[in-house]
Amino acid sequence: MRIMKKTLFILSLALATIAQAGIYRHDKSPKAYKELAAQQQFDCVGMVMDDVGQKQMGSCVLIGSRYVLSAGHVFVDNDIRVDTYYLDKNGKTVPKPVEGGAKMLVNQPVAHRPAIITNYSFRFGNHRYYGKKLRLYQPYLDSLTAGNLFCGDIVLIELSEPVKGITPATLNTAFNEQGSIITGVGFGASGPANDPENIGPYMEKIAGNNVIDKIEGYEVNGKSSLLSSDMDAPGRTDCNAMGSAKPLPLEWGPGGGDSGGGLFRQVAGKWQLVGIITGGPASGLNMTSFMQKKGYYGGTIQNQRVSAYNEWIKETIHLFEVESMRVSEDKK
């Protein structure tokens, strides 16, 4: 008797689910989103690349002349363990092979560790810079083995030289983000939200707007660390997951490659960095919505809340500075 009907090969599992909401409204010109991204206040959003500048790895935000914030999962290395799973004919996991089922081989990432910073470069404008040090938020690194991938998905990087001609982002320090209109900026996949087939990795700088509808998730120093929104559709209420169902004129959601980019809001005429694009446990395409032809509309968007990490950011920058002073003293 032939037990197995087929074998499925899954080449890899991502360390984290990068947010995969639609990029822009299907009834708006992408030119408006590109023009917004090109505004000077968003020059602080750069592209993370490999060390030779040929492959895009993610996005990042300059927060000091030589300090950068990004998504932690972009800077994690791991080994691979091949696990075997069995599925029944309905796709449910079962302990052993069954008639009409399938065998699934999964490359499971294990032994997670910080990446080697010299394997990355950072592009701001037309110039590339190189990393000197990186520090992942330790609870995030610790949580990877446990499978909770969103406990502080953030990293701080020191560059080997200062970035010139670009004003760093100002960090938000207030815990009043809920209800704020934000502008998200990154270099990820883009395309119209109603047409997943035309969302592609063009790696253009795109910016758009959304509203922080909810603050939730893993707590850092007693403060929830995820900023949650959704991608609303024009003329439809069935795509609404939270907050108002009415989309903003430049309604937006991040795509793969935007990880590490920034969420900004304007307060009293000044721009603040309120979030880092990372994804979260509820981020991504709602498969039911997809089957109902909603496209990327209705997807929930969750990203890291900068205000929750302010103390860690200050402490890490201080640590980098102390380490640099020690190296300078040792060279004397």
Residue of 9 and 206 predicted with greater confidence = 206
Say whether pLDDT at 183 is over 90.
yes
Q: Quick one: pLDDT band at residue 22, thresholds 50, 70, 90?
A: very low
Which pLDDT score is estimated for 11? 33
| Residue 285 token pair | 């395409």
Say whether pLDDT at 63 is over 50.
yes
Q: Mean pLDDT for the chain?
A: 85
Residue of 167 and 78 predicted with greater confidence = 167
Q: Quick one: pLDDT band at residue 188, thresholds 50, 70, 90?
A: confident
Across 220-248, average pLDDT: 91
Q: What percent of the chain has pLDDT over 90?
A: 57
Say whether pLDDT at 3 is over 70.
no
Which pLDDT score is estimated for 14? 35
Where is average pLDDT lowest: 226-235, 270-279, 281-290? 281-290
Q: Quick one: pLDDT band at residue 293, thresholds 50, 70, 90?
A: low
Q: Quick one: pLDDT band at residue 328, thresholds 50, 70, 90?
A: low
Within a 13 Å sphere around the CA of 28, how many CA atoms are in the beta-carbon half? 23
Q: Quick one: pLDDT band at residue 15, thresholds 50, 70, 90?
A: very low
Which pLDDT score is estimated for 187? 93
Which pLDDT score is estimated for 20? 35
Residue of 254 and 288 predicted with greater confidence = 254
Across 21-33, average pLDDT: 81
Which pLDDT score is estimated for 223? 95
Where is average pLDDT lowest: 5-14, 167-176, 207-216? 5-14
Say whether pLDDT at 121 is over 50.
yes
| Single pTM value for the model | 0.84
What are the chain's domains? 30-77+113-320 (2.40.10.120), 78-112 (no CATH)
HEC assignment per residue over the chain: CCCEEEEEEECCCCCCCCCCCCCECCCCCHHHHHHHHCCHHHCCEEEEEECCCCCEEEEEEEEECCEEEECHHHHEEEEEEEEEEEECCCCCEECCCCCCEEEEEEEEEEEEEECCHHHEEEEECCEEEEEEEEEECHHHHHHHCCCCCCCCCCEEEEECCCCCCCCCCCECCCCCCCCCEEEEEECCCECECCCHHHCECCCCCEEEEEECCEEEEEEECCEEEEEEEECCCCCCCCCCCCCCCCCCCCEECCCCCCCCCEEEEEECCEEEEEEECCCCCCCECCHHHHHCCCCCCCCEEEEEEHHHHHHHHHHHHHHHHHHHHHHHHHHC
Say whether pLDDT at 2 is over 50.
no
Which pLDDT score is estimated for 8? 39
Which pLDDT score is estimated for 19? 37
Where is average pLDDT lowest: 125-129, 147-151, 221-225? 147-151
Across 211-226, average pLDDT: 94
Which pLDDT score is estimated for 150? 66
